[in-house]
Amino acid sequence: LAGTRIICDRKFLLECKNSPAARTPPCCLPQTPGVTSLAQSSLVKLEELKERNESQEAVPGEQPRATAP
């Protein structure tokens, strides 16, 4: 295998971290659910978990049920 090895020193890389270009996403970046943005199904699952937790906290006398993942 042949290739080019790019070597950067630590100081340069740390300076790049604070660059304004490093803080904004590229303009042509596609929106891919689950990769560049949260997946819609993940948001739905989060809402369901929040509702489940709230309903369990509302009834303190009941034992929490074990649920399958």
What does pLDDT average to over the chain? 76
What would the mean pLDDT of 2-30 be, rounded to a whole number? Answer: 84
Is the separation of the CB atoms in 42 and 34 below 8 Å? yes
Q: Is the pLDDT of residue 58 over 70?
A: no
Using pLDDT thresholds of 50, 70 and 90, give the confidence band for residue 47. Answer: confident
From CA 52, how far away is CA 49, in angstroms rounded?
A: 5
7 located within any domain: no
pTM: 0.30
Q: Which residue has the higher pLDDT, 1 or 5?
A: 5
Gap between the terminal Cα atoms of the chain: 43
68 located within any domain: no
pLDDT at 10: 92
Q: Is the pLDDT of residue 35 over 60?
A: yes
Phi, psi angles (nearest 5°) of residue 33 = -55, 130
CA gyration radius, the chain: 23
Count of domains for the chain? 1
Q: Which spans in the chain are helix H?
A: 10-17, 20-23, 40-58
17 located within any domain: no
Domain span at residue 33 reads: 25-52
